[in-house]
Chains A and B, each alone.
Chain A
Amino acid sequence: MNRYALFLGCTTPRYVFQYELSSRWVLEQLGIELIDIDDFACCGFNQIDLNKETGLLLAAMNLAVAEARGLNILTLCTSCAGALAEAAKKLKADPEKREGVNNKLQTVALEYRGSIEVKHISRVLYEDIGVEKIEEAVETDLSGLRAAPHYGCHYLKPEWISAGFDEPDAPQTLHQLISATGAVPISYETSNLCCGGKTFPISRDTTLSLVNRKLNNLKTKKIDCIVLQCPTCYLMYGEMQKQINKRFGEEHEVPVLLYPQLLGLAMGGDPQTDLGLDLNAIPLDGILTRIAKSDQD
């Protein structure tokens, strides 16, 4: 049985409960044990902007906390995965830097020796469970459901982060994970476009315009939903559609699912209590009706 320390980050436990719910449910069903750790804190992703050293210290603190328990880290957020993995890489490669960091971590009674691996949930699903096992776990027929994958930048870039399991300019793993549920991954021109979430607090207009670009591109693709794997990407594409419609005079109403919600549906999870589908900003009634119908057939 695989065990991981569950790194929730800030955005998921605060704003995207359905991602946490569905991830916990799906991983439990598939035999991945998650350990909740109280001492985790922010990964430091935004703090490096103000002070690189603070960002590295925050990441190192989290790595040290997991290491003390002998656990590798599983994250739900792609940016947490990126920030923690980047820090882990630096601290492993550079003993001098590690010593400097440890001198400071000492004050909070921690030490990082450099042994931790950090994986995003989709990578765990893809590598630890595997597409075949996921296909075997599927109970409900989702075939015909057209899903537009959105990977999230830090799942893929910088290049070394996805080395060995995916390819930044032509990613495939989420496509395959979607296919494993029976749904159909749809290719589209702006699929690698950034959600702009980090820019949102700085310039709302910039980010909403960026999100609108993808939504407009998808208009012509006859999709049933967007499927993504990051809480910030979810907030931008899921929660911002109303604001975008108002601001730019659009009429978007595209359902947005976190990947574990899609997988959970395919595995027969309860849409509300297990997967939190009722919490998604754009109603998923269409998709649910369709599944109920295919169940009767």
Chain B
Amino acid sequence: MKPDDIPEDMPEDIPENISGDDSEETVQVPNLDPAFKYEVMRNEGAGGLKYCFACGACTASCPIHEIDHGFDPRKLARMVQLGMKDEVLSSPLIWYCSACRNCEQHCPQSVEFFHILNVLKNMAAEKGYAPYAWVVQTRHLMRTGMVFRTDEAWETRRKALSLPPLQLDGEKVRELIELSGLDELIVKKRP
């Protein structure tokens, strides 16, 4: 737009720095890892990150974000694209997702954020960031094949209600957990 084209009724209070030269604060992020996004995208279901243009449909439809603004799918996707590996993987917020899958339902780019977040959680767990509640569930699984503590009172209760007894046996589950290395993962210490 040439200066001559500016209409006369144009408001005059346009900020001087509208061109953006000195209006933005520079954020210093140490240790950016430019390979991080590729590391993530190589995983099944996560390749769509390439197509994310940060429109925010995911965040707008996220029920957890509505309660806790700290959990922000769009921001997390951006952080991965920028290579903020340590910040993302060590963040407790990545575990807040309720898995409702609204984000992928409403993404105009067909990005499956649920799967991207899953990859991030797997990487975080590798580093020892698995949340305690999930570790406890895995321990129960290895004993009983289900994720809760079981006891005699529970069995008696089922019997009283004429529900069939459950023949819980964690043996096969334990073998599969050991085969896939989850047993070693849950004893890792946080860095």
Contacts and interface: CB of A to CB of B under 8 A. Distances in A.
A157 B186 CA distance: 29
Interface of A is mostly: helix
A52 B67 CA distance: 28
A196 interface: yes
A58 B176 contact: yes
A157 B166 contact: no
A64 B172 CA distance: 13
A198 B97 contact: yes
Contact of A14 (B63, B154, B164, B177): B154
A52 B180 CA distance: 9
Given A21-B161, A108-B176, A210-B67, A158 B146 contact: no
A57 B179 contact: yes
B147 interface: yes
A10 B148 contact: yes
A108 B172 contact: yes
Nearest to B154: A14
A158 B101 contact: yes
A41 B63 contact: no
A194 B158 CA distance: 29
Interface string B93-137: 001111111101100000010100011011001000011011001
B180 A57 contact: yes
Contacts of B158: 13, 17
A212 B179 CA distance: 42
Contacts of A197: 98
A10 B146 contact: yes
A61 B63 contact: no
B182 A51 contact: yes
A213 B64 CA distance: 12
Given A50-B121, A198-B99, A168 B105 contact: yes
Q: How large is the interface on B (under 10, 10 to 19, 20 to 34, 35 or more residues)?
A: 35 or more
Contacts of B64: 194, 196, 199, 206, 210
B146 A50 contact: no
Interface residues of A, number: 57
A38 interface: yes
Contacts of A17: 157-158, 161, 163
Contact of A42 (B100, B105, B141): B141
Nearest to A41: B145
A28 to B, nearest CB: 13
A48 interface: yes
B20 to A, nearest CB: 36
Contact of A201 (B43, B133, B170, B172): B133
B161 A194 contact: no
Nearest to A196: B98
Given A42-B145, A53-B180, A201-B133, A159 B105 contact: yes
B3 interface: no
B26 to A, nearest CB: 32
A50 B130 contact: yes
Contacts of B147: 10, 42, 46
Nearest to B141: A42
Of B96, B101, B130, chain A has the most CB atoms within 10 Å of the CB of B101
A61 B180 CA distance: 13
Contact of B96 (A8, A41, A203): A203
B185 interface: yes
Nearest to B181: A51
Contact of A61 (B101, B138, B176): B176
A194 B131 CA distance: 21
Nearest to A40: B145
Contact of A198 (B68, B98, B170, B176): B98
5 contacts: A9-B146, A49-B122, A157-B105, A197-B98, A210-B64
Interface of A: 8-11, 13-15, 17, 20-21, 36, 38-39, 41-42, 46-54, 57-58, 61, 79, 104-105, 107-108, 110, 153-154, 157-159, 168-169, 193-199, 201-203, 206-207, 209-210, 213, 273, 276
Given A41-B141, A199-B97, 5 more contacts: A13-B158, A46-B147, A154-B101, A193-B63, A202-B96
